[in-house]
Structure 1
Amino acid sequence: MDQLVSEIRQIISQSRESAARSINHALALMYWHIGRVIVEDEQQGQERATYGKALIKNLSIQLVAEYGENFSSRNLQLSRQFYLTFPIVNSVSSQLTWTHYKVLVRLDDTSKRAFYMAETEKNAWTVRQLERQINSLLYERLLMSQDKESVLAIAQSEAKPTHPHQVIKDPIVLEFLGLKPQASYYEQDIEAAIITHIQEFLLELGNGFSFVARQKRIIIESDEFKIDLVFYNRLLQCFVLLDLKMDKITHQDLGQLQMYVNYYDRDIKESYENPTIGVLLCADKNDAVVRYTLPANNTQLFASKYQLHLPTEQQLINEIRKELPNDQTDQR
């Protein structure tokens, strides 16, 4: 009996999810078609700008009276923009809701919009998660370490990440922890907050990450060490060791992380898995110390700054300029 009830529950749940997706897709298509007829009617007007504003205002008055606030001037204007942004009906994804599209059509950059659309579909982001990723400038942060074509190809599953720099972000934004930037914290405070918000932290880390362990204890001969956080990335097929540092990192910090990585490579990982990645998550870093401490061909150790607040666009521009050669920093 229990098994029968379980199977029926699964059928009901799957059917409800399927029905909800169908309804959401039908709703998105409804707004797309509304946008289409508005644009087509506008194109017949003599004074298009004035005519368009008056048309939407008059339409809204009539439709709100009959069908409610879902047909406000704002929604009709978004419907119009929806159609202009996605002029081919087959480009309207069945995986995204009208509310997703209301966020996406506000993005003017075509590549950025294509990236967020693909990532939302692939990761089943909620609207809130999509807005958070846009506000945390995810697309721009990824562009700091790779080119636009690679970012789009990975997002659209046309290519898989083959190098750690394609998945390791810098900076990592931790505004969801709810910690005040000006306050003083110990490393265990940040770690505890990450564990409390592990779902959001995995979302920030990106595609393919899963949580493995906290304060992972390792014994090297008679000495005991603890790795703050251990993850696994199924796309890169490797362990990712994360060590938290509250101060500016030193070459000793990098040396300790290198020891953890070596231990995992020699004693933990399987032969079919790729080399372990180590990430120092720090409040500040000296790029020159990192560069001179690590070998020139380093592909395993990374240092990422964490921010307890969302970066501004100017902050990100400043970070990007640090990564560019001097002769490119003034180019727009």
Structure 2
Amino acid sequence: MNLELQTTNLTNDIKNLIASAQEKAIRTVDYQRVLLYWNIGKRIFEEVQGGEARAEYGKSIIKNLSSELEPVYGSGYGVRQLELMRQFYRIFPIANTLYSQLNWSQYKLLIRLEDDVKREFYIAESVKNLWSKRDLERQINSSLYERLLLSSDKKSVLEVAKNERLPQNPSEIIKDPMVLEFLGLEKKSAYYEKDLESAIISHLQEFILELGNGFSFVSRQKRLHIDGDDFFVDLVFYNRLLQCFVIFEIKTHKLTHQDIGQLQMYVNYFDRVEKQDFENPTIGVLLCADKNDTVVKYTLPQNNQTILASKYQLYLPSEEELVKELYKELREIKMVEGEK
């Protein structure tokens, strides 16, 4: 090994050591800040709880405290921030349940969540996937938890998030709808499929984050040569949790039974040619602008577990839209159970 190569390797090793130490130092400082705010919140909470006429007394205490601290320590000790610290302790009263992987900015987002199970879900996903504050905020704003509830129940969603069990079927991982606001596409009545596919490839990291746990990219426009004819699968991924290929076909129109048949052929090909014996059956996902759930239901066999249809949205859904979708899903489940 020549001197120049040795120097390069040594330099890279030291750069990695420095970067690792800096990252650990930042995490340590962030965690100490979290503990500081927890202790301040604890002290305020205990003082307020010990007083009479607690609501008014609490407001006065925090206001007076802020007037003393803010001129010395800055805006981080304003009334609003001190109230957040008090809420922080109230929601997380046990210090050793705090996570060193989460910083104060993330905890401030979590404090605002009123549903305990929802909060547990986002904590588990943040820790497991090393989400940044921006990632966590995006997932909350895109209602990830509610979208997963459309195909599962609270208990199952939380168990999968906390690694207490592996997902039992694709619907526990594949979201419907998928929110693709990060593509930055303008709202138009229609798109070419190649344009949507190209936008996804350009934002592949964000798309994988939207897909969720265990996904890795395999190929784009995968060529299948079948008896002299060529076919091309839009996107191919692999999911290590489900241990199977997950192939995506993009349709910018309303889903048809022909689309489902085409995807079924691709799934069959992967199962018979690409899949190894130790792997699970391939999953096919039709990512479409719109779908008729009844058409999907009657096109596929009753025991179907490998073909799913998911609508994409190019904007963040409102809470009202998700509630509407959730009730719609519950009605369809009841109808299916009534037919059995």
What stretches of structure 1 of length at least 5 have no aligned partner? none
Q: Provide the residue aligned with 1:293 in structure 2.
A: 299
Q: Provide the residue aligned with 2:253 in structure 1.
A: 247
Quick one: distance in 2 between partners of 1:135 and 1:10?
Answer: 34
Residue 218 of structure 1 pairs with residue 237 of structure 2: no
Structure 1 residue identity aligned to 2:295: V
Secondary structure, in 3 states, of the residue corresponding to 1:119? helix
Q: Provide the residue aligned with 2:244 in structure 1.
A: 238
Larger mean Cα displacement after TM superposition, 315-324 or 152-161: 315-324
Structure 1 vs Structure 2: percent identity of aligned residues?
58
Q: Shift in Å at residue 147 of structure 1?
A: 1.2
Q: Provide the residue aligned with 1:159 in structure 2.
A: 165
Q: Shift in Å at residue 220 of structure 1?
A: 0.4
Q: Provide the residue aligned with 2:92 in structure 1.
A: 86
Quick one: distance in 2 between partners of 1:21 and 1:61?
Answer: 30
Q: Shift in Å at residue 326 of structure 1?
A: 6.8
Q: Shift in Å at residue 182 of structure 1?
A: 3.2
Q: Provide the residue aligned with 2:281 in structure 1.
A: 275
Larger mean Cα displacement after TM superposition, 90-99 or 320-329: 320-329
Secondary structure, in 3 states, of the residue corresponding to 1:182? coil
**What are the residue-to-residue correspondences of 1:97-176 with 2, within 5 Å?**
97-176=103-182
Secondary structure, in 3 states, of the residue corresponding to 1:108? coil
Secondary structure, in 3 states, of the residue corresponding to 2:33? helix
Residue 72 of structure 1 pairs with residue 78 of structure 2: yes
Q: Which one of the candidate residues 188, 208, 213 is aligned to 2:214?
A: 208
**What are the residue-to-residue correspondences of 1:25-44 with 2, within 5 Å?**
25-44=31-50
Q: Provide the residue aligned with 1:227 in structure 2.
A: 233
Quick one: distance in 1 between partners of 2:12 and 2:182?
Answer: 36
Quick one: distance in 2 between partners of 1:93 and 1:327?
Answer: 38
CA-atom RMSD in angstroms? 1.4
Quick one: distance in 2 between partners of 1:150 and 1:326?
Answer: 19
Q: Provide the residue aligned with 1:12 in structure 2.
A: 18
Aligned length: 329
Larger mean Cα displacement after TM superposition, 239-248 or 11-20: 11-20
Q: Shift in Å at residue 3 of structure 1?
A: 2.2
Q: Deviations over 1:260-301 (max 9, x none)?
A: 001111111111111100000001111111111100110100
Residue 316 of structure 1 pairs with residue 308 of structure 2: no
Structure 2 residue identity aligned to 1:90: N
Contact 2:208 2:216 in 1 (8 A): yes
Q: Shift in Å at residue 48 of structure 1?
A: 1.1
Contact 2:249 2:286 in 1 (8 A): yes
Q: Deviations over 1:229-249 (max 9, x none)?
A: 111111101111100111111
What stretches of structure 2 of length at least 5 have no aligned partner? 1-6, 336-340
